[in-house]
Structure 1
Amino acid sequence: MGSTVLSLRIDGELLDRLRQHAAKRGMSVQDYVVRTLIRDDFDERFKAAVDETEKFYGDSAEGRDASDHARPVT
């Protein structure tokens, strides 16, 4: 799999917060942002899989929505 460059223009305060979050984890801002995007993408695909499973088998707990399901820990 190759890589592509993505250029962003973001607010200075947001960049400062990203730097702080990344530093707490010993990561670069770039690595922190990429990891966050990957995690978010996984969460969306996981939710879609749960929704499809519930459609197939039926949701045994009436009134429950996707937010009631356990979220994966990353």
Structure 2
Amino acid sequence: MLAKITSKNQITLPKAVMAQVSPAEYFEVEAVNDRIMLTPVRIQKIDAVWRKLEELGITEDDVTDAVKWARKE
């Protein structure tokens, strides 16, 4: 099967291919030996939150301190 890449590097995956893999909203993408490998990934929303906090340099201790500060009377 062929899939065309757009000018914005987007590809629509054929329905027949998607029917053969686990349903997923996200895919791990790797380049392996001149091939693009897509692996379905299930991400829980809390994982996405922790990943964003990590990107921002916010640690679990920072979150704990912020909760303590917010709960002060």
Return the TM-score normalized by structure 1: 0.29
Between 1 and 2, higher relative CO (CA 8 Å, sep ≥ 6) is seen in 1
Return the TM-score normalized by structure 2: 0.29
Higher strand share: 2
